[in-house]
Amino acid sequence: MSTSAGQGHHDQQGDDGRRTGCSLVTRSPEETFAVGAAVGKAAPPGCAICLFGDLGSGKTKLTQGIAAGLSVPDTYVVTSPTFTYVNEYPGRLPLYHIDLYRISSADELSDLGWEEYLETDGIVVIEWAERADRWLPDKRIEIYITITGADERRFAITLFGDYPAVYEALTSRARLR
Ligand code: ADP
Ligand code: MG
């Protein structure tokens, strides 16, 4: 995996006006899983992780890693919640895995209990986060995944808010290589 830390800068985004970012590349599904695990280990209570990227880019693979990082027992198989929109898994913190692929408009969000999930102390992972439009929380982690090769994926990560442990986990992985 190779990583470059973006320049931390301040703007009007996020609760406390803080926004930092970094980008990295993985070259296998296992590496993506490992990135997810690092994020899951470091994620603080109430953290919303918004995933963007085409079908097959690795959103679910990354989420499986996040679950492992949260110590979700591996008797649970983490898959995209196709018929339910939301799957819940017990871990160090509860994991709420939401997939918005099938919603037809952001109006449906309140029916699936959107606000309640975002108010918990658990970790919320949202696939197809763009479909939530302006209803994404101000404080959040955005991860854009691009398919750059058969087994290569590029991750552009922006932290809207203060997530020092997550930032450290993402950037320290690169320093080990
Ligand atoms: P999504 O949830 O975005 O539709 P999935 O995680 O379900 O994507 O699927 C990603 C697919 O891409 C899997 O079949 C996985 O094996 C493959 N793949 C190949 N290289 C990578 C990589 N570097 N990271 C993640 N997945 C990869
Ligand atoms: Mg998926």
**Model confidence pLDDT, tens digit, residues 44-84:** 999 999 999 999 999 999 999 999 999 999 999 999 877 67
The domain in which residue 114 lies consists of 2-7+19-155
- Return the closest-CA partner of residue 58 out of 162, 154, 167: 154
Q: Is 69 domain-assigned? A: yes
Q: Is 127 domain-assigned? A: yes
Phi, psi (deg, nearest 5) at residue 21: -155, 165
Task: State the average pLDDT for the chain.
Answer: 89
Checking if the pLDDT of 85 tops 90, the result is no
| Structure token pair of residue 63 | 């989420």
| Sequence-distant (≥ 6) Cβ neighbours of residue 115 within 8 angstroms | none
55 three-state secondary structure: coil
Checking if the pLDDT of 16 tops 70, the result is no
| Structure token pair of residue 173 | 């992985």
The CATH number linked to 48 is: 3.40.50.300
Q: Closest residue (by CA) to atom 24 of ligand 1?
A: 29
Q: Are 1 and 31 in contact (CB under 8 A)?
A: yes
Ligand 1 contact via 32 beta carbon (within 6 Å): yes
- Give me ligand 1 centre to Cα 59, in Å: 7
Q: Is 98 domain-assigned? A: yes
Average pLDDT, integer, range 73-102: 91
| Structure token pair of residue 74 | 């591996």
Lowest mean pLDDT among 12-21, 44-53, 67-76, 95-104: 12-21
How many domains, in total, are found in the chain? 1
Full-model pTM:
0.90
Q: Is 44 domain-assigned? A: yes
Q: Is 84 domain-assigned? A: yes
| Structure token pair of residue 165 | 């442990």
Ligand 1 contact via 55 beta carbon (within 6 Å): yes
| Structure token pair of residue 168 | 């450290």
Q: Is 135 domain-assigned? A: yes
Q: Is 166 domain-assigned? A: no
Q: Is 42 domain-assigned? A: yes
- Return the closest-CA partner of residue 163 out of 142, 146, 144, 132: 142
